[in-house]
Structure 1
Amino acid sequence: MKQLIGILILIFSCAVPLSSQTDSVYTGTKTPDLKKKDKSHPAWEDRITVGGNFQALFGNPTFIYVSPSIGYMVLDNLNIGIGMIYNYTRRDYGSAGKYSQSIYGGHSYARYNVTPSFFLQGQYDKLLQPDYYNYNNPSAKIWVDYAMAGIGYSQPVGERVVFNTSLMYNFTYSPRYSIYPSPLVFQVGVVGRIR
């Protein structure tokens, strides 16, 4: 193992000086100012995106869904990111009692803009939610995976903010454990660049 590390260090230490050698010839022209920023390649801070989804319904039932996210524009048309999910539901069944639950977890996503208005998206959620079928322990919770992919539409709201709607298919859908009533999942959210 030490020999392998030594060989790799030797290769990289030889490659760096060789690749940094340049041949220069004075042509009488002014050299470009390297301190000026190239507008075609934005700084890493300009590629950070923030946003998420929010849904709320008050009354009976009460439903609150919050999913903030942060992403990075790896390419001009490819955004990858991570986020958190929190879902609260409360329902009053009258004389039968009240029921409430909290579901939380995280998600990761990749969004590819096919055109400025249409995108493809893949998303993976991992949620800690009630185990509805554990009759011996009604407060038991389990981790459930949601692997989804689909299409979406972006509508600009300003110079740096877009309103997204997407329809995704949940490939890991199980009527027994899914929090969604069908494998088709509709999402609405906002995404913006911070600079």
Structure 2
Amino acid sequence: MKRIYLAVILLVCAQAATAQFYKTDTARGFDRSRLMVGGSFGAGFGDYTLVNVSPIIGYRFSPMFAAGIAVNAQLSWEKLRAFNGEIISRYNYNMFGGGLWGRFYPIPQLFLQAQPEYNSIGEKLRDYTRDPVTTTKTRYGAPALLLGGGYAQPIGMGNSAFVIMILYDVLQDDRSPYRNRPVISAGVNVGF
């Protein structure tokens, strides 16, 4: 618990030490400097292999509001082995989907986020313990509504920021990939 308090104090101090500048002129039309690109990438390899690519693109409509599109792509493979090391089954999981996101910034670096999305999920299980080998495939869809908030720390010049956030799927569909746990992510949003 002390670590959480320390992290909050450090974030507040960083907030007080920096400020992010946004144009406040009244020019109409598209302003490239308000464009945001970011997302997350993750990978792990071994008997359990995971590759996750989840880009976002958005636009900062005002100092208090940003919105955009999110894409989800996640692939994983798992080998289950017997005590002698022989592979007894393989499990493949893939998820493709996406949706919209919106952020409200009550103060410059803290934001609230809503992200409705829909994911198509496929699973395949190959069982080598049966003769003949059996393969079971399923594909289904899962809606989600992620709500939460986060912190955006400006980095460098311009509109780039390090972002950390915690979201939670409030729909809790039976097939949701998020289950009953928070989604914690960190990354970089790059402004132009």
Does the pair score TM above 0.5? yes
- Structure 2 portions without partners, runs of 5+: 1-22, 82-86, 125-134
Partner of 1:165 in structure 2?
Answer: 164
Identical aligned pairs, as a percentage?
26
1: CA distance, partners of 2:106 / 2:72: 26
1: CA distance, partners of 2:99 / 2:185: 14
Partner of 2:60 in structure 1?
Answer: 73
Structure 1 residues 180 and 60, CA gap change in structure 2 (3 angstroms)? farther
Runs of 4+ that moved beyond 4 A: none
Structure 1 residues 60 and 115, CA gap change in structure 2 (3 angstroms)? farther
Q: Which amino acid aligns with 2:77?
A: R
**Mapped contact 1:87–1:104 kept (Cα < 8 A):** yes
Alignment of 1:87-106 (within 5 A): 87-94=74-81, 95-106=87-98
TM-score w.r.t. structure 1 length?
0.70
Q: Deviations over 1:92-127 (max 9, x none)?
A: 102322212221011210011222321111111210
2: CA distance, partners of 1:99 / 1:131: 7
2: CA distance, partners of 1:166 / 1:157: 17
- Aligned match for 1:61, one of 48, 51, 59: 48
Partner of 1:27 in structure 2?
Answer: none
- Aligned match for 2:147, one of 143, 146, 149: 149
TM-superposed CA distance for 1:131, in Å, is 6.5
Alignment of 1:1-195 (within 5 A): 40-41=24-25, 44-94=31-81, 95-130=87-122, 138-159=136-157, 160-174=159-173, 176-194=174-192
- Which of the two has greater strand per residue? 2
2: CA distance, partners of 1:111 / 1:150: 10
Q: Which amino acid aligns with 2:143?
A: D
1: CA distance, partners of 2:114 / 2:122: 25
**Mapped contact 1:173–1:183 kept (Cα < 8 A):** no
Residues matched between the structures, number? 151
TM-score w.r.t. structure 2 length?
0.71
2: CA distance, partners of 1:64 / 1:191: 20
TM-superposed CA distance for 1:130, in Å, is 2.6
Pairwise CA RMSD? 2.1
Computing the radius of gyration from Cα coordinates, the structure with the larger value is 1
